[in-house]
A and B are shown apart, each in its own frame.
Chain A
Amino acid sequence: MLSIKGLEVRYGAIHALKGVDVELKEGEIAAVIGSNGAGKTTLLQAVLGLVRPNAGVIELGGKPITRMSANKTSNLGVSLVPEGREVFGTLTVTENLRMGLKKKIGSVTKRQFEKELELVFERFPRLHERRNQLAFTLSGGEQQMLVLSRAMISKPRLLLLDEPSLGLAPIIVNEIFATINELAYEGTAILLVEQMAHKALSIAKRGYVVDNGSIALQGSSTALLNDDRMIKAYLGAH
């Protein structure tokens, strides 16, 4: 589904990514772990087309998308949920969710949208309670649910998640991870950047550890969960 080879990104004098390789199959979750400033967010932005790689190849389903702009890749089914909950503050919750559909080609009937809405509300009853509230009045956690749901409604082939657990209560984090797992089960390929390394690896098939712009460590999740270096630096006392 997604294949990244030798990806390099520079910002002026800063060498943000120094030759990164990632492979991801349909319906699979790959966890990307690393400290702040390692280049994880840059990796997601390069895949979507928000930053231009200086070298390397990115392929989506065998087709090169290396220097494609973000609106083209999103038409091909790539969706990014950025860090920091970017909701449309002055639109209601339902209107925000409607924006998720707008990107789709062709018209969507009202009934279809309502069916999608029902699915979202079933998953996050909190959003149902707040469906007519303006998004900026939601709490941080509710906004995160909203952003994730909006991306889900667009039915992406490849979902790029940047720290979806950020600032969420443990019970909600569990829900979010369950949701991510379900999405993968339904066939979406997911690249998951996450600081909660333990949780991320528990649902991911593979893990990549980014350090200072390169892949320092990679392997199956089970192998990484038991790797001493991982435990020391990223898994903590868990």
Chain B
Amino acid sequence: MIQLIERSAGYRAAAGWIVGLAAIGMLAAGPWMVDTYYLNLLFMIGIFVITCTGMNILIGYCGIVSIGHAGLMAIGAYMSSFLSTKYGLSFWSVALIGMVVSLLIGSLIAIPTIRAGGVYLSMITIAFGVVIHEVLIRWDAFSGGPLGISGIAKPQIGSYTFDLKGMYIFVLVISATALLLARNLRRSSWGRSMIATKENEIAAASLGIRKFAVQYAGFAISSVLAGLSGAIYAHANSFISPDTYNFQTSVQLVLIVILGGAGRVLGPVIGAVIIVFLPELLDMEKLRMALYGGIMFAVLFFLPKGIVGTLDGWLSPRLRRYASANPRQVLSPEEAKALFASPVRASGQPILMLEGIQKHFGGLHALKDVSLTVEAGTIHSLVGPNGAGKTTLLNVISGLYSSDQGHYTLRGQPLIPRSLSAVAELGIARTFQHSRLFKELTVLENVMTGLAKRAQSGLGASLLRLPGQHRSERLMVETSHALLDLIGYEGDRHMPASQLPYGHQRMVEIARALATAPSLLLLDEPAAGMTALEIEQLEQLLRKLVGHGLTVILIEHHMDFVQRVSDTVTVLDFGKIIGTGSPEQMLSDPRVIQAYLGSEEVAASAEH
């Protein structure tokens, strides 16, 4: 069965390569099939594909909508044109300089943009594009002012000078390469981390993914590609002016990405073909902007996932019918143990100690002098009425909130929970009360995001999909399958997480948290929404984890479950600890019955 699936996946990959190469072959024959006019249009499509593939990574993967990338194209174009006309340097060296400068300036605007986030993010990129345009108009000595730079030399290799045909083939190769890199990226830890951060910053941070690093990487790649396409265009066209790179161009770039389908590798191709050809076909040169506006409106209204996204959404469930089953392997106990990188700790020693934790939200005193000792290798439950501060305490431990006062010790070392991702790196993983899976990723990919930090693959290696990358990716797939086996997830693992029923979402979230190889696992109401049978499986899972040396802090309201599974129970009420002890002791405490259980529940559990 496994072989069969792998073979069919292999066939599909091979078919993809054949179709891709055939398409490139046909396009490469273009110059000898069509006249100059159409060849020029095809060349422009290639230029747009290069830029927009970078922007697709930024918009589609990272969720950063930049409306100023024409500015980065301009930097590549002007840098290379200036150096080439003034100092007579070859295209190859000035294009490289153009890319580097574009990367540097792109990095400069990436910092405030990523910090700002939300609506302000796009505003900063708009401002950037406008500033670059203005600078190019005024800085005569460098840019030639409003008249621009003309007579830019064509690229040469030896005695061959690139004509339009040559430039077209060159652009075709570069754009195919860019698309290949974008595809590789999407299938790597970097790509998954980008999408994870876009979808749920908090959950991504809890897996140790650093938002700035992944979003900056997206910005950097798109800056380099924008600079490169700017330089190629300038040298092919021999003439550039500030108006080649104005606000409208930036809008056009975003439109191509969104029309094609943000986040879809082939999206920019479809988008660029339509955006370049449509005005020509309709003979609407003067109404170009109005046409673009109309297209943008129609796409957002009718095809919010873009053309490729919509097609894929329609096709993939129909194709999956034939190709979905889970390759399953049963892990040997040693292999299962290897999933947990953390050393097994002698139980009975404190792993986490809290002292005098205080937390205020405005006037609300959410945690009042909370002190707690959690022993290694145990399941420690937090119970208490809704609003007692249980989740707040979990948020403080995991670094999502900072406490106003108090001391923490993790494995005997003082701990300062600075941020979610820093705490995650210390081996504390968590799940959330409301499931925070990355909905765009599949079940398997969700678990793989938890492995991103352990894999430590380089950005370059991910883009090029080097052999080592292949192996580590394969290992991640196997480990994720093993983790899903461990938690007993039986459903389709290649299904987008958005389609999972609630109870399964919670299970997958636990597998994802386990992927970070934690020594301490914080679970916020994992049994909510589970059936009695699933709760029993959860109970077995928790025992298994403790057997592997993990420590679990559990918030839960299913009292019979808490009673069966916990070594220690701490009861919180109004932000204060009202008692810690064995489950029997705590659940028969009159204060607990009065504040939390209610007398009916006690009567019911007394029957057993």
A interface with B by C-beta (< 8 Å): 11-14, 34-38, 41, 83-84, 126, 137-142, 144, 163, 166-174, 195, 197, 233-238
Contact = CB atoms under 8 A, between A and B. Distances in A.
B601 interface: yes
B534 interface: yes
Interface string B580-608: 00000000000000011110110000001
Nearest to A42: B501
Contacts of B531: 34-36, 195, 197, 233-234
A35 B601 contact: no
Given A37-B504, A142-B386, 14 more contacts: A35-B533, A36-B501, A36-B503, A41-B502, A83-B529, A139-B391, A141-B385, A166-B528, A167-B386, A169-B557, A172-B385, A236-B532, A237-B560, A238-B532
Given A140-B433, A236-B533, A171 B597 contact: yes
B3 to A, nearest CB: 24
A83 B532 contact: no
Contacts of B383: 169
B530 interface: yes
A236 B597 CA distance: 20
Nearest to A33: B531
Given A36-B502, A168-B557, A238-B560, A142 B387 contact: yes
Interface residues of B, number: 42
B433 A167 contact: yes
8 contacts: A36-B534, A37-B503, A84-B502, A142-B386, A166-B528, A170-B597, A172-B386, A174-B601
A168 B500 CA distance: 22
Contact of B318 (A13, A174, A236): A13
Contact of B532 (A12, A38, A169, A234): A234
B557 A233 contact: no
B384 A35 contact: no
B543 to A, nearest CB: 16
Interface in B370-390: 383-388
A138 B387 contact: yes
Contact of A83 (B364, B502, B504, B595): B502
B236 interface: no
Contacts of B302: none
A163 B434 CA distance: 14
B529 A169 contact: no
B317 interface: yes
A170 B500 CA distance: 27
A41 B529 CA distance: 12
Contact of A171 (B318, B385, B502, B530): B385
Given A36-B502, A236-B536, A84 B598 contact: no
A176 to B, nearest CB: 11
B533 A36 contact: no
Given A233-B533, A238-B560, A13 B317 contact: yes
A169 B596 contact: yes
Contacts of B557: 167-170, 173
A174 B598 contact: yes
Contacts of A14: 317, 499
Contacts of A170: 557, 559, 596-598, 601
B579 interface: no
A195 B559 contact: no
Contacts of B318: 12-13
A197 B530 CA distance: 11
Contacts of A238: 532, 560, 608
Given A142-B387, A237-B560, A171 B532 contact: no
Interface string B500-514: 111110000000000
B474 interface: no
Contacts of B503: 35-37, 195
Contacts of B530: 36, 195
Interface string B326-346: 000000000000000000000
A171 B533 contact: no
A234 to B, nearest CB: 6
A12 B317 CA distance: 6
B386 A139 contact: yes
B86 interface: no
Contacts of B433: 140, 167
Contact of A236 (B499, B502, B535): B535
The 4 closest A-B pairs by CB, nearest first: A141-B386, A236-B532, A36-B503, A139-B387
B361 interface: yes
Nearest to A230: B532
A169 B560 CA distance: 13
A210 to B, nearest CB: 11
A169 B361 CA distance: 23
A169 B386 contact: yes
B525 interface: yes
B394 to A, nearest CB: 12
B535 A13 contact: no
A75 B596 CA distance: 38
Interface in B531-588: 531-536, 557, 559-560
A171 B601 contact: yes
Nearest to B386: A141
